[in-house]
A = this chain, B = another copy of it.
Amino acid sequence: MSWEDNIRRVEPYTPGEQTKNPDIIKLNTNECPYPPSPKVVQMAREMDIEKLRLYPDPKVTDLNEAWAEYYHLQPDQVFSGVGSDDVLAIAFLTFFYGKKPILFPDITYSFYDVWADLFRIPFVTKALDEHFKLRKEDYFGENGGVIIANPNAPTGEEADLAEIEDIIRHNPDSVVIVDEAYVDFGAASAVSLIDKYENLLVVQTFSKAWALAGLRIGFAMGNKKLIRYMNDVKFSFNSYTMNTTAIRLGTAAIQDVAYMHKIVTDTVKTRERVKPLLRELGFTLGDSKSNFVFVSHRSVPASELFQMLREHDILVRYFSKPERINNYLRISIGTDEQMDRLLEVLKKYLENK
């Protein structure tokens, strides 16, 4: 017997590599290649640092009000947390408390099964079709909840809003969470359905379109009852999670929607320009509606390309499992210059194969 017998032993998740080397082209974690709004810089310069001696506002009032206004919702229809991972984890804890298994696709955001295991929530995964598309009927049966990433990760594929609505409509007895981390890059948001379905929770993030991954801010939107239940759970175990700088800088960012639209438009333009160029190089890829593309080469293994790009100081993401996607690379959309460099390196390598 030793103290080590009482310890939880887990397989830690390996996040996408972070680097301090500024020469590296970082296309591995779907960050925005453009800086945050100048309004965020200004707020950082003006912020009342003396106030940091006080606990943050546990209700995150200012940020929730700004976000609610942006989406024409009431402030009590918004919940914010430390990144959408925190928001999703609290949503799992809150809404997936029944005995029936929750449902999500076999290929999707890799933390859904992690949280389900952590919180002892039974789950069943449903296979995407051969084009990595959702089959909505898979989610019509009995369940304890549904979570769908739309656009999906790491595929970038969008499900039509009509399909999402069908899933929500078929599940009056479960909460359906739509995880829209990448929605700003061209997909239709389910926020428009919130007033129609009280079992719908929509989750978004500041880490992609808003260029603020470093602040850790995510949002959930739904009817007031859903949001109140989430707040109850949050306040039951940790009242002060989002720090004051996140609240202040995040609120400033929302004042500059025009800037967000501009960098999103630039990213989408680059993505659409790059797609046919990748196909010319022999890659297969779907019609990503996110800030990344998910690609597989007709002859060269993904793991080999991943290593080769790394040696050329270009980081992309390679997942060795699940098996269905172990020959794919997930490549974030960087600036035009970064993507040109990527294409150049790929072209040179593939020509010599």
* Residues of chain B lying within 8 A (CB to CB) of residue A105: none
Let me know if A229 and B7 touch, CB within 8 A. yes
A232 touches B6 (CB 8 A): no
Measured CB to CB, the closest approach of chain B to A146, in angstroms, equals: 11
Q: Nearest CB to that of A96 among chain B residues?
A: B6
Cβ of A31 within 8 Å of any chain B Cβ, yes or no, is yes
| Contact indicator B243/A6 (Cβ below 8 Å) | no
Whether, in the assembled complex, A277 has its beta carbon less than 8 Å from a beta carbon of chain B, the answer is no
Q: How long is the Cα–Cα vector from A49 to B44 in the complex, in angstroms?
A: 8
Q: Which of A1-57 contact B (CB under 8 A)?
A: 1-16, 18, 26, 29, 31-36, 40-41, 44-45, 47, 49-57
Chain B residues contacting A144 (CB-CB under 8 Å) are: 6
Given A233-B8, A238-B89, A240-B216, answer yes or no on A207-B55 (Cβ-Cβ < 8 Å). yes
- Inter-chain CA distance A31–B212, complex, in Å, is 28
With a CB–CB cut-off of 8 A, which chain B residues contact A40?
49, 52
> With a CB–CB cut-off of 8 A, which chain B residues contact A242?
216
Judging by beta carbons under 8 Å apart, are B240 and A85 in contact?
yes
Q: What is the interface residue range for chain A against chain B?
A: 35 or more
A156 CB within 8 Å of chain B: no
Write the chain B residue with the least CB distance to A97.
B8
Which of B15, B53, B212 interacts with A32 by CB under 8 Å? B53
Q: Report the Cα distance A291→B112, complex, angstroms.
A: 42
Q: Assess whether A293 is interfacial by the CB under 8 Å rule.
A: no
A212 and B53 contact, CB distance less than 8 A: yes
A242 to chain B, nearest CB (A): 8
Measured CA separation A44–B211 after assembly (Å): 19
**Chain A positions near chain B (C-beta within 8 angstroms):** 1-16, 18, 26, 29, 31-36, 40-41, 44-45, 47, 49-58, 82-83, 85-86, 89, 93-98, 100, 111, 114-115, 118, 144-145, 171-175, 198-199, 207, 211-216, 225, 229, 231-246, 249
Q: A3-B171, A5-B98, A10-B236 are in contact. List 9 more A-B contacts (CB 8 A).
A: A3-B199, A9-B229, A10-B232, A31-B55, A35-B53, A51-B214, A53-B212, A89-B237, A114-B237
